[in-house]
Chain A
Amino acid sequence: MLNAKIPAGPLETKWSKYKSTVKLVNPANKRKLEVIVIGTGLAGASAAASLAELGYKVKAFCFQDSPRRAHSIAAQGGINAAKNYQNDGDSVFRLFYDTVKGGDYRSREGNVYRLAEVSASIIDQCVAQGVPFAREYGGLLSNRSFGGTQVQRTFYAAGQTGQQLLLGAYSALQRQVALGNVKMYNRHEMLDIVTVDGKARGIIARDLVSGKLERHFGHAVLLCSGGYGNVFFLSTNAMGSNVTAAWKAHKRGAYFGNPCFTQIHPTCIPVSGDHQSKLTLMSESLRNDGRIWVPKKKDDNRKATDIPEEERDYYLERRYPAFGNLVPRDVASRAAKERCDEGYGVGASKMAVYLDFAEAILRYGKIEAGKKGDDNAGKEEIIKLGKSVVAEKYGNLFDMYAKITGENPYETPMRIYPAVHYTMGGLWVDYELMTTVPGLYALGEANFSDHGANRLGASALMQGLADGYFVIPYTIGNYLADELQTKPIPLDHPAFVETEKAVQDQLDKLMSIKGQHSVDHFHKALGKIMWDKCGMARNEKGLTEAIGEIQALRAEFWQNVRIPGSQHEFNPELEKAGRVADFLELGELMCKDALQRKESCGGHFREESQTEEGEAKRNDDNFSFVAAWEYKGPGSSELHKEALTFDIVHPTQRSYK
Chain B
Amino acid sequence: MKLTLKVWRQQNSQEKGRFETYQVSDVSKDMSFLEVFDVLNERLINEGKDPIAFDHDCREGICGMCSMYINGRAHGPWDETTTCQLHMRAYNDGDTIVVEPWRAAAFPVIKDLTVDRTAFDRIIQAGGYISVNTGNAVDANAIPIDKHDADAAFAAAACIGCGACVAACKNSSAMLFTSAKVSQLALLPQGHPERKQRALNMVAQMDKEGFGSCTNTGACEAECPKGISLTNIARLNREVLVAGLSSE
Mark A residues whose CB is within 8 Å of B: 46, 49-50, 53, 64-69, 71, 73-74, 83, 85, 121, 123-130, 132-141, 157-158, 160, 162-164, 167, 170-172, 174-175, 177-178, 184, 186, 209, 238-240, 272-273, 275-278, 280-281, 399-400, 403-406, 469-470, 473, 518, 520-521, 562, 564-565, 569-570, 572-573
* Other A-B pairs, 7, CB within 8 Å; known A66-B161, A238-B59: A53-B133, A83-B140, A83-B141, A125-B134, A132-B153, A277-B38, A564-B51
CB pair A163 B62 closer than 8 Å:
yes
Determine if B245 is an interface residue (Cβ-Cβ < 8 Å).
no
A518 and B45 alpha carbons, distance in the complex (Å): 7
- 0/1 interface trace, chain B 14-48, chain A, CB 8 Å (1 if under): 00000000000000111110110011001011101
Chain B residue numbers with a CB within 8 Å of A469 are 134-135
Q: Which of A74, A171, A405, A565 touches B62 (beta carbons < 8 Å)?
A: A74
Distance, CA A504 to CA B184, complexed state (A): 45
> Nearest-CB distance from B44 to chain A (Å)?
8
Instruction: Select the residue from A160, A162, A275, A400 with max chain B CB neighbours within 10 A.
Output: A275
The closest CB in chain A to the CB of B124 belongs to A174
Q: Is B213 positioned at the interface, with any CB of A under 8 Å from its CB?
A: no
A64–B57 touching, CB < 8 Å? yes
Measured CB to CB, the closest approach of chain A to B32, in angstroms, equals 7
A569–B53 Cα gap in the complex (Å)? 11
B111 engages A569 (CB within 8 Å): yes
Q: How far is the CA of A186 from the CA of B63 in the complex (A)?
A: 15
Question: What is the interface of chain B, defined by CB distance below 8 A to chain A?
Answer: 11-12, 28-32, 34-35, 38-39, 42, 44-46, 48-51, 53, 55-65, 78, 80-81, 85-87, 89, 110-111, 114, 116-118, 120-121, 124-126, 128-141, 143-147, 150-151, 153-154, 157-158, 160-161, 184-185, 188, 190-191
A137 to chain B, nearest CB (A): 5
Docked-complex contact A164 and B157, CB < 8 angstroms: yes
User: In the bound complex, do residue A136 and residue B134 qualify as a contact, i.e. CB atoms below 8 Å apart?
Assistant: no
In the bound complex, residues from chain B placing their C-beta under 8 Å from that of A164 are: 154, 157
Q: Is the CB of B57 within 8 A of A240?
A: yes
The chain A residue with its CB closest to the CB of B45 is: A518
Given known contacts A135-B150, A163-B158, A570-B12, A127 and B140 CB-to-CB distance under 8 angstroms:
yes
Residue from the list A65, A140, A569 in contact with B117, Cβ < 8 A: A65
Give A593 Cβ to nearest chain B Cβ, in Å.
Answer: 28
Tell me if A71 and B57 are in contact (CB < 8 A). yes
Cβ 8 A contact of B184, one of A50, A130, A178, A281: A130
Q: Which residue of A lies closest to B89 (CB)?
A: A406
Is A172's CB under 8 angstroms from B129's CB? yes
Chain A residues with CB under 8 Å of B129's CB are: 129-130, 171-172, 174-175
- Most chain B Cβ neighbours within 10 Å, of A126, A132, A240: A132
Are B110 and A209 within 8 A (Cβ)?
yes
B42, B137, B185 interface centre (most CB from chain A within 10 Å): B137
Of all chain A residues, which has the CB nearest B111?
Answer: A570
Nearest chain B CB to A516 CB, angstrom units:
8
* Residue ID in chain B nearest A136 by CB atoms: B147
Q: Of A132, A209, A564, which one neighbours B45 at CB under 8 angstroms?
A: A564
CA distance A209 to B53 in the complex (A): 12
Docked-complex contact A518 and B138, CB < 8 angstroms: no
Residues of A within 8 A of B59 (CB): 238-239, 277-278, 280
Complex Cα spacing A127 to B63, Å: 22
In the bound complex, how far is the Cα of B57 from the Cα of A178, in angstroms?
Answer: 26
A-B contact pairs, 23 of them (CB 8 A): A66-B117, A66-B161, A68-B121, A68-B161, A125-B137, A127-B143, A132-B184, A141-B140, A157-B154, A162-B62, A172-B132, A174-B128, A178-B125, A186-B121, A275-B31, A399-B80, A403-B78, A404-B85, A469-B134, A473-B134, A518-B42, A521-B42, A565-B50
Question: Which residues of A have CB within 8 Å of B48?
Answer: 564
